[in-house]
Amino acid sequence: MLVSQIAVEALKKQFGTQNAVSDVSFTVDAGECVVLLGPSGCGKSTTLRLIAGLEPTTSGRIQIAGRDVTGLSASGREISMVFQSYALFPHLDVARNITFGLEVRGVARAERDQRLAKVAELVGLTPYLQRKPSQLSGGQRQRVALARAIISERSVCLMDEPLSNLDAKLRHDMRVEIRDLQQRLGMTMIYVTHDQVEAMTMADRIILMKNGSIEQIGMPHELYDRPASTFVAGFMGLPPMNVIAGDDGADLIGVRAEHITIREANSAPRAGVVTHVEYLGADTMVSVDCPGGVVVARASGQAVKRGDTVGLAWSNEHEHRFDLATGRRLEPRQTQVSHFVSN
């Protein structure tokens, strides 16, 4: 199977006077899985549809394997795509659903059968080839859609929220399977999701979008450990990073729940009242209303309850600073030394 690279340059899409995608540029290396992540309406699915050729661009350029495909139809871009809705033919059995694209392209029956046997075994569908989609579970239907993309032997695969119709257990299982297949087959993949857990567990790199523009690009740990803005800080992680007002009023402070220590109220730089305790088994999330805002701390077996007054502390190395006006990250040389954090 050939490998490919995707390059998107200054991509823009307008619907009337509204900018759905604004000056988006990025590259995807051959064999890489890049996730377009963001809330509903941020432009991630529109960006994918532009790359797929399902929507015309307003301006900008799209290259696949060094070839400018901006003006080409979807069929001329030599890509495969998996949709949220599965898009299966209800009157065809699994085998025909998987091989339908090959039939349309005029691939010989013998080759179709050979590819089908290989792909069905790869995704665990061999026992179900004679069934109709209505006789399959949600996870099995998604495997059919995935098999249809794999059997085309395209080097680029685009996925638009393919797991959103599945329950939590199936989503976990399918994202593991998709990532494993992508790596084994060496596919270049762009995967769209609003679920940051999917993004963190599947991506080589994440492109986080907001209001049609890119907010930050990086490996999952880079977005988690060094968010470029308060938007990134609040979107990445469960629970999201705490962002509260600093004592000096000049900027904002960010700190992750797992980096906060709960202490006696009189032995910590900040104190507040516990407003909510959420028991999650191995962890307990404790919400504390303190100066600057509500802070969520991750505790383990901590004996606190609603209404308790507790102290909060964290080390300087785990504190992040953001500009109060823009929300953008401030590097250490741009910040003043905090006078209330504790080592």
Question: DSSP letter at 61?
Answer: E
Task: Tell me which CATH homologous superfamily contains domain 6-225.
Answer: P-loop containing nucleotide triphosphate hydrolases (3.40.50.300)
Q: pLDDT tens, 206-236?
A: 999 999 999 999 999 999 999 999 999 999 9
User: Which DSSP helix (H) or strand (E) runs through 99?
Assistant: helix 94-104
Q: List all residues 6 or more positions away from 110 whose beta carbon is below 8 Å from its beta carbon.
A: none
Nearest-5° Cα angle at 26, 208 to 62: 125
Mean pLDDT of the chain: 90
Q: pLDDT tens, 306-316?
A: 999 999 999 98
Beta carbons of 100 and 149 less than 8 angstroms apart: no
User: Which tokens belong to 340?
Assistant: 């209330």
User: Which tokens belong to 178?
Assistant: 């998709």
Mean pLDDT of 259-285: 90
Which pTM value belongs to this model? 0.88
Beta carbons of 32 and 185 less than 8 angstroms apart: no
Beta carbons of 142 and 166 less than 8 angstroms apart: yes
Share of the chain above pLDDT 70, in %: 95
Mean pLDDT of 58-76: 93
Measured distance CA(34)–CA(37) in Å, rounded: 9
What pLDDT score was predicted for residue 4? 56
For the cut 70, the answer to whether the pLDDT of residue 334 exceeds it is no
Q: pLDDT tens, 96-134?
A: 999 998 998 899 999 999 999 998 988 889 999 999 999
Measured distance CA(195)–CA(37) in Å, rounded: 7
- Total number of residues shown for the chain: 343
For the cut 60, the answer to whether the pLDDT of residue 157 exceeds it is yes
Handedness of CA 225, 230, 233, 239 (dihedral sign): positive
Nearest to 62 by CA among 156, 151, 153, 148: 156
Q: pLDDT tens, 15-50?
A: 988 999 999 999 999 999 999 999 999 999 999 999
Beta carbons of 152 and 101 less than 8 angstroms apart: yes
* Domain ranges (residues) in the chain: 6-225, 240-334
Beta carbons of 164 and 84 less than 8 angstroms apart: yes
Task: Tell me which CATH homologous superfamily contains domain 240-334.
Answer: Nucleic acid-binding proteins (2.40.50.140)
For the cut 80, the answer to whether the pLDDT of residue 302 exceeds it is no
For the cut 80, the answer to whether the pLDDT of residue 86 exceeds it is no
What pLDDT score was predicted for residue 301? 72
In this structure, the strands spanning 320-323 and 251-255 are antiparallel
